[in-house]
Chain A
Amino acid sequence: MSGTGLEIRGLTKRFGGLVAVNRFDLAVAPGEIVGLIGPNGAGKTTVFHLVAGFHGPSEGLIHFDGVSLVGLKPHAICRHGLARTFQLVQPFAGLTTLENVMVGAFNRVGDVAKARVRAAEIVDFVGLGPRRDTPARHLTLADRKRLEVARGLATEPRLLLLDEVMSGLNPTEIEAIIGLIRRIHSRGVSLLIIEHVMRAILALSHRLVVLHHGEKIAEGPPAAVARDPRVIEAYLGEAVEETR
């Protein structure tokens, strides 16, 4: 498998008359962390749906490590090493933390005992060790967000797409998730991250891409993008550094 990472070219998605994503280009190289930001309704989650196979694109190419993902089912895409998380986390409420993560591990192993071992390692890695046997319905939101990441990791992705894993968390909980994402990255996983928490996205991303009305309006080093007047106008409202 050639490690060329994710390459999206001319990606377009129409829902009836609405163009949700319009001729969008994006690349995520192996080892890279890319932040995808933009106003609510800009099309960020639609891009995730397209890449992960939940929608088929109207036009455009999606390649991952040399394989075209267009037309593949979500589970097949996941087998290719590309996993995603969901903004609204929906664990199996009656299953324990460990059992939820085992579901992800079954993407790679068919054996229950092996899945259990693999899931246990991931549960410890994301810091949920003390909650391993807690039913998911009893986890706090911060822990459910960790569980969501753990389920994705258990599928052994080379690229992980994170959709607002910090939403609803307080700044201290966010710091902890930033640390977790850094540790995931140092395991050799590349990341594409949708997030509104600017402090986090600026700290983590090697590169930022800004989507507005389905189109890319800026791309580049985080600090430069955060100073781009078009990005400030469409998304930030005011310059990020040294506010409050």
Chain B
Amino acid sequence: MSLLILRGVDVAYGDLPALTGVDLVIEPGEILSVVGANGAGKTTMLRAISGLLRPRAGEITLDGARLDRLPSHAVVERGVVQVPEGRKIFPSLTVLENLELGSYTAAARPHRRESLDRVLGLFPILAERRRQAAGTMSGGQQQMLAIGRALMARPRLLMLDEPSLGLAPKIVQEIFRIIGEINRAGTTVLLVEQNTRQALALAGRGYVLENGRVVLSGVGRDLLDNEHVQRAYLGM
């Protein structure tokens, strides 16, 4: 059974439609990438899944149960966790405090110790910096913290919104490598990226959003070879 399904989802900001009739399926264990221009609706889609926006029409289901009527905290309780664009860590809290907040949910709290060991194992720099105020770290380290904080909630579906934003090439490679590692350890990943090439290379499957509609979907590698994708998103 598919993990997450969007069926005919419409989202609008006032009169302005942001998503129109979006159908999308995420299978357990996969990495799915959603690419598209700025303003295509990628972040809106994540926010709708997270319960931060209410679809005007259509439905979103997790394991067959409706997700789109739940408040965000209940979505997180069900194991769907978003890493927001621009990290949004708590800058004045320490690294450790940020991580602990990630395991706030009832389901995650009893596993805090074990989750923390796992996150610090994935990101040794966070262990080194655990007592430091999070806002004083570099952009790459803050991105690692944002991902680590999400992992503390023990997600079944981890949603990442532009994790490569503003990062040096070496750190981008590192972040993408770790996303692969998290996925191989059993977490399903939904990745939204402007870094189209690396996102589609990492993903099993991909979707292309344009003006709030899904215009293409398929195997990541096939999309990379697709003439429209090359022209519109890869600058070829």
Contact = CB atoms under 8 A, between A and B. Distances in A.
Contact of A174 (B36, B138, B235): B235
Interface of B: 35-39, 137-140, 162, 165-174, 194-198, 201, 231-236
A76 interface: no
A169 interface: yes
B88 to A, nearest CB: 14
Contacts of A140: 37-39
A41 B173 CA distance: 17
Given A39-B140, A238-B173, A244 B201 contact: yes
Given A40-B139, A236-B169, A237-B174, A142 B234 contact: no
B165 A173 contact: no
Contact of A235 (B39, B170, B197, B235): B170
Contacts of A171: 196-197, 233-236
B173 A237 contact: yes
Interface string A47-67: 000000000000000000000
A244 B201 CA distance: 9
A41 B39 contact: no
Interface of A: 37-41, 87, 140-142, 164, 167-175, 196, 198, 234-238, 240, 244
Nearest to A139: B39
A167 B165 contact: yes
A41 B235 contact: no
List the 9 closest pairs (A to B, CB-CB), nearest first: A237-B170, A41-B138, A171-B235, A40-B139, A175-B235, A141-B38, A140-B39, A40-B138, A170-B194
Contact of A173 (B37, B140, B169, B201): B37
